[in-house]
Every structure is written in C-alpha cells, then in structure tokens.
Amino acid sequence: MKKKKLNLRDLKDPSIENKVSSQLSIKEYIPSIFSFVMLIAGIAIDYFDTFPFFKGWIRIVWYTVAYIPVGFPVIKEGWESIKKGDFFTEFFLMSIATLGAFAIGEYPEGVAVMLFYAVGELFQNAAVNRAKGNIKALLDVRPNEALVYRDGDFVSVNPETVEIGEKIQVRVGEKVPLDGILLSEKGSFNTAALTGESKPNTIAKGDSVFAGSINLDGVIEIETTKEFKDSSIARILDMVQNATARKSKTELFIRKFARIYTPIVVFLAIGLTFLPYFFVDDYVFRDWLYRALIFLVISCPCALVISIPLGYFGGLGAASRNGILFKGASFLDAMTQVNTVVMDKTGTVTKGVFKIKEINSITFEEVKFMKYLMAMEEQSTHPIAKAILEYKADGADYEATDVSEIAGKGLKGTVNGKTVLVGNKALMTSNSIEVPSETDGIVESIVMVSIDGKFAGYVTIADELKDDAHQAIKKIRDSGISKIIMLSGDKDSITQQVSKELNIDWAKGGLLPEDKLNEVEKLKKQPETKVAFIGDGINDAPVLAASGVGIAMGGLGSDVAIETADVIIQTDQPSKIARAIKIGRSTRRIVWQNIGLAFGVKVIVLILGAGGLATMWEAVFADVGVALLAILNAVRLQKMKWN
C-alpha cells in the first residue's frame, strides 16, 4: 500500500501531529519497556525463589535478554566512537561498567543501571527531537502547480516543467509560481512574504512579478522569465539551507562532561584494582577487581543523564503554557546568551493591517470629505480602499459614477456632480493640481483627494503597531539586552519612523532577504555578540536560520519562517520575547542546580564505593533519589509567575 505523504500543513493538524508523535514515542520506548518487564520479573523470581530452575545459565540468559535491548545500542555507539578515536565517552563508561557487573555476577544491577541510562537518554532525545525538522519540509510551501498555456488552453503542471517564455495564469488568492513579466493591464500583489513591504504592490503591464507573491485582484497572465529553480522563492529557500548548514549544533552538556569525567573514573578504577598491591599486605586481585567494577557501576552518570533533561522539560513546559514554543532544550540555553535582538517590522511589531492614521480635510468638514473619498474607494478592491471604507460616517452615503482607474496613480470619477480624483501625488500633478508642501514629509502611505480641480485634503494610511509593541521593547531592555535593531524590507522612511517611536537603537529599511542576512552576519562577526532575530515572513527565513536564535511569530507568520525558527511565539505578541529570555535563564539555573546535586551525591557514593562501603544497589538508589529531587526542583518552573 502506498503511504500518503504528510505535508507541512497536514502536520499542523493537531490530530495528525499527535498521531505521528505517538507512533514514534511507542516505537522508541518498546526496548526500555521490554527490559523493565524482564528485569522486574527476574528480580521477583530471585527474591521469592519460586522457580528452582532459575539458576546458572538460565538466569544468565534471562538477564542477558533483558540487557540487550537497552545495552546493545550503547555498546554499539561506544564501539563506533572508539573507531573514530574517541575512547572516553559516556557510552564507553556505561558499557564497561555494566558488562563488569555481569562479569562479577551482579546481573540485575547491570541491567538496572543500563535501563536507567536508556530512560534518561529517551528523556534527552525527546527534547532534542522537538528541534526543527528536516529542512526539506520547507519545500511544501513553494507553489506546487502552475497554470500554463499549452495547446490552446491553460493546463495545470508542475512549476519545474515550465520553461522561460511560457505564459501562465494566476487566479485571485494564488501564489505566483515563477518569476515573470505581467501581460495583463495591471495587477495587485501581496509581496510582504518576500520583501517585508507592508503595502500591497500594484504594477502595470510589462513590470516584473516575483514568485511567492500573492495575487490580490483579478485573474492575471504572466510571461515567465526564469526557471523554477532560479525563482525568488527557490533562491530564498536555498539561502535557508545554506544558513542552516552554517549554524553550529549545540553539543549536549553530558557529552562535554563525559570527556573529562569518563577518563578520570576509568583510571581511578584501574588504580583501585592494582595500586593496593603496593600498600595492602593481604592483597587479593579478585577482591580489588570486584571493588573496582562496583566503583565503575557506581560512577555511571545516570542521575546526571536524567536530571539535566528534566530541568529542560520543566522550562519547555513553562514556555509552552505561556504561548512560547522552543524547538529543543538547546535553544533554552542559547536564549540565555543573547545580548543583541534584531527584529523585522511588518508582522513582528506591527499588525500588518492598514488603518487610517490621519485625516486632513481642507475644503470640507471631515465627514463630508470622507464621504466623497469613500464613494470613490467603494469602486476599488485595493487593501488601502478597504482600510478607508472602515471609516464610520453618519447620514446618507454618496455615490460615485463614471469611475475609471489610472494605472499606477489612482481613480477618477464623479460624485454629486463634482469631478473627484483620488490617488497619489503623481495623479495630482498630472492634472495640474497644486499639492501642499506639508505632504512631502509624510512617510506613511498617503491618499490625496481633489474635488473640481482643487486639492481637498488627504488621508494617511499606516500599518498599526501591535498593542504590546512598546511594552515589548521595554521588557526586552529590562531583561538585560544591550542592543535592539530593526531590519525591514519596508520603506526606510517608515522603518525609521517606527524605530523612533519604539525607541529602538538602530534601524534600516528597504532591505532584500539577502541584505538582512548580510547585516546579521556582520553582527555575528563582532566579538561577544550573540544575536536573536525575530521575524514572520518568508523573507525572514534565511536570517532566522543563520542567527544564534531564530524567533518566529507563529500566529500569522509564514510556514517557512515557523519551520526555520528555533523559537515560535504562538500568540504573535512581541512582549513574549522577554518572557522567553526569562524562562531560558531560570531553566538554566535549575539545570545547574540539578547538575550540582547529582554530581555531589555521585562523589559521595563513589568515595563510599571505593572504600567498599557501598554496593551497586545503593548506587542505583542514590540515582533514583537524586532524580526525584531533580523532578521536584524542575517542577518549580511550572509554578513560577512570568510577568
């Protein structure tokens, strides 16, 4: 039976996501569950002594079967490390210690210690597996079909088969599949995902259209100028892949610790076996070898392996309950090192929705002026027109007639017998209408109105700041971030204005995706600079992948940004960024507390073991006790208040 391919949007369905996760979890836990059942059964038989035949080779085989599911992967990993020249790993230590337990007849202890280790690894892997998935999942957001004109009709084909110079058709709401030149008279496109430009882009016949843009108005036709592999969207995704490859993988703490801890323990065990020969009169090799093997078993870092991920799970849970998704425990650590926050504008600190910011009427009172303007804009489907039509005006509405669109400039029509022009400055000047100089300094989108040949006023349209934008910047500063930067594809004038309003340290607008990436790469080269980038569009994906920590707005953000980011703000609130930093720092503090606790207890038990005062069961019990204390400590993260 052919398996159905799950695409990115399928995986966003909670039922499918949970089904896939549960299947993976059950498969991963089966070896540990099997070993646990076999171990408990064997211990019970040993304790109650109900089966006389459970002795000798039968008992050895029983515990060996219990050991193999959890022990073989560790032994194999240790052997692979040795072949690469890396001897002193925790895999090596676990293998020697547990095989040593079998060598001295302590079979249940050998299985129990390895089972503890395996369960700890499962906890650790569960955190790591939440990291971002294979970069190939990003391909699902690319346009997967193109309507190309062939043999007298438009047919649906794979965009990769479309050649340069062919004619394609794009319907309303669809993504443009390939770069090309507009053949239709005009077109309106949402290019925010590519450029970050908050204002929809209206173009005329012969202008360039970029793949990944969304057609907003009417069915259009395009002549392709590039192959699919060279299109804008494919180029951005390629940058994501390259940037991801440049990002170094965070090495787990236990791996680093094992490089120091393991050789020390191994050499101490060797010393414990042979050195007493020179200091003890009644030296018996077998007795000291036995004690050294117990020492090795006790030295297994089981409590460390368990206590560390438990702390991270506490942080991941606390973050999730606050609408913040970390894609792995390592990013909680990375967040604590951030000292420079770089953010996009549109969709990150602004809503990405147009609203009337200012109405300036010269010849009429405001309501009457707006009725003239609204009568004209009712004939348009442009997003700016929709923002203007949200204005509430009492009384009878005006009606526009003979409305025509002047490409790239605006509208011309008749309202109440008066000739009305609505559009940009180019429309006014082309009709010999004098525009006040005060409009020259306006950075927002501006809609000008003339009535019967006289300038009547203007309306400014702007992308609104999110409700918590000011609070977000303040909280980020209060969390200890030294520098806040804004990089945007929107006009530089608008970017600078928003930056000034939010008291951001430095800003730059008019940037293409590769420009943003270059700016962040420059920052990364500065000594001691740890960068977190916050964005939401396809154009932000390369920077999200390349930065120390990539943070995406998950509510309205693009699929590519969400898949590429390390951290997702599920509620779209920028104020949650500071909360993510606090959770990361608290998690790291608790993890180090757990490490100190586990290591301290381990040293005590090791000393007792070296003196022959502790057995392997006491070592296992000590690990369990430490793990329980670590759980209680990690639970504190769930109870903390995050303001």
Question: Known catalytic residues?
Answer: 344
Q: Report the 10 Å Cβ neighbour count for 166.
A: 17
Distance CA 105, CA 135 (A): 48
Contact 444, 462 (CB under 8 A): yes
Please tell me the number of Cα atoms within 13 Å of 425 on its side-chain side: 12
Q: How far is CA 73 from CA 70, 78, 138, 285, in A?
A: 6, 9, 32, 32
Name the pairing type of β-strands 549-553 and 567-569.
parallel
| Encoded tokens for 321 | 């309950």
**Residue 504 to residues 357, 476, 534, Cα–Cα distance (Å):** 21, 11, 14
Token output for 100: 């040593």
Q: Contact, 391 vs 374, CB < 8 A?
A: yes
Strand (E) positions, 339-444? 340-343, 350-361, 400-406, 410-415, 418-423
Query: In angstroms, rounded to a whole number, what is the distance separating the alpha carbons of residues 349 and 495?
Result: 11
Compute φ and ψ for 578, nearest 5 degrees.
Answer: -65, -35
Question: What does the chain come to in residues?
Answer: 643
Contact residues for 424 (Cβ-Cβ < 8 A; gap 6+) = 409, 410, 446, 447, 448
Give the up-direction half-sphere exposure of residue 430: CA atoms within 13 A in the CB hemisphere: 14
Radius of gyration, CA atoms only, the chain: 33
Cα(142)–Cα(628) distance, rounded to whole angstroms? 48
Structure tokens at 634: 């990690």
Nearest by Cα to 20 from 1, 30, 5, 31: 5
Give the Cα separation of 127 and 11 in Å (integer).
Answer: 18
Taking each helix axis from N to C end, the angle separating 107-128 and 285-299, rounded to the nearest 10 degrees, works out to 20
Distances (CA, A) of 54 to 46, 61, 288, 566: 8, 10, 29, 52
Q: Which of 230, 231, 219, 183 has its CA nearest to residue 203?
A: 183
- Count the alpha carbons within 13 Å of 609 in the hemisphere toward its beta carbon: 30
DSSP H or E run through 42: helix 14-48
Residue among 506, 508, 548 nearest 528 (CA): 548
Residue 479: strand, helix, or coil: coil
